Amino acid sequence: MRHFDEAAYLAAHPYVAAAVCNGSLPSGRVHFETYGLTEGRSLGLPSRRDRMLRGLDPAAQQGVELGPLMTPIVRKEEGRILYVDHADTETIRAKYAGHPHAGSAEIVPIDVAWRSGRLKDALAPGFQADYVLASHVIEHVPDLVTWLADIRDILSPYGQLRLAVPDRRYTFDFLRRETELHEILDAYVQRATVPTPHVVLDHCLNFRTVELVQAWCSTLNPAALPRVFSVADAIAQAREVITQGSYLDVHCWVFTPRSFALLMEQATAAGLVHFAFVDLQPPMPFDNDFVVGLRPSADVPAMVASWRQMRERAEQLDP
């Protein structure tokens, strides 16, 4: 556990700290490896919210949060924040009624329903955001290139986009291949507004139940991971996209920090994406995502170099 932080663990568990102080435990790390790991104890590391907001000041800035559902990163009482989703509040709440992990009554009221078209057209004329937050949203976007362009359009020149991105290695995407440039180009050329049949098939056929602690401890047996969808299920869902144009809630794109950086490096070099890399916060132990910060840019060489920097940093963290 090279990410283990002794001080953070002891701060999160005062009675363990007391036991270390009185000599009944040699260290917090020993406690974690003996008890905390199997009990799923908090490591006391920064939360996703802390990582998403690092360096931002919601109290003094205008923000936009995409897809907040019931756990927005920034609450209304904390600053000027607009909640944007693909439909209005009633529709979103109806969609999640009975969902095991989403109490529909707790879903926050949506300020702006971005159903189609450009994001800037759904907002007030001339609106600019100092920051945009999207936690576990980017992987669901059918056309990644156009989505990023829409967000860039509403950011101030010094604004930032902050993304919490699922890391393939710790999710049900464990067996999937990471997204490559030709795949986002295919969706861009098609102007995809729903996941393409190829994406739906990949998602369904390679979806596996993954135990997070085992993934972090590298004890998963890929061949034994339980399937969720049959081949017949995958075909049926792909046909639904073709015949009905349905939006299916799948992961269109699959990333690790390194592969995300490589994809952005290629996309900025090709003139498709106009964001530079700002900040990377790798996955915290027993969490399943990384946080990346982006800022608008028109300097192609600088953008490409910035994403190369992120890729090199990711390689250092996970050689």
In a 10 Å sphere around its CB, with 0-12 CB exposed, 13-18 middle and 19+ buried, how is residue 226 labelled?
exposed
Q: Read off the DSSP letter of residue 104.
A: G
DSSP state of 283: P
pLDDT of residue 110: 96
33 DSSP assignment: I
For the chain, how far is it from start to end, CA to CA, in angstroms? 15
What's domain 55-166+277-295's architecture? 3-Layer(aba) Sandwich (3.40)
- Separation of alpha carbons 172 and 210, rounded Å: 6
Q: Give the model's pLDDT for residue 10.
A: 85
Q: According to the model, what pLDDT value does residue 103 have?
A: 58
Sheet containing strand 129-135, edge to edge, reads: 112-113, 80-85, 62-66, 129-135, 155-166, 289-296, 275-281
Q: Which residue has the tokens 């600053």?
A: 79
Q: How far apart are CA 223 and CA 234, in angstroms?
A: 19
User: In the prediction, which pLDDT does 63 show?
Assistant: 97
Which uninterrupted H or E stretch holds 164? strand 155-166
Which parts of 45-194 fold into alpha helices (H)? 48-53, 89-95, 119-122, 144-154, 181-190
Q: What does DSSP assign to residue 167? A: B
Q: Take residue 261 and report the two structure tokens written for it.
A: 């950086």
What integer pLDDT is reported at residue 319 of this predicted model? Answer: 58
Spans of the chain, pLDDT less than 70? 1-3, 100-105, 319
Determine how many CB atoms are found less than 10 A away from the CB of residue 296: 18
Cβ count within 10 A of residue 268: 25
At 102, which amino acid appears?
A
Domain boundaries in the chain?
A: 6-39, 55-166+277-295, 167-276+296-319
Among 24, 310, 266, which Cα is nearest to 144's?
Answer: 266
Q: Residue 131 — left, alpha, or beta (φ > 0 → left; ψ -120 to 50 → alpha)?
A: beta
Residue 100: the pLDDT is: 63
Residues of the chain with pLDDT > 70: what percent?
97
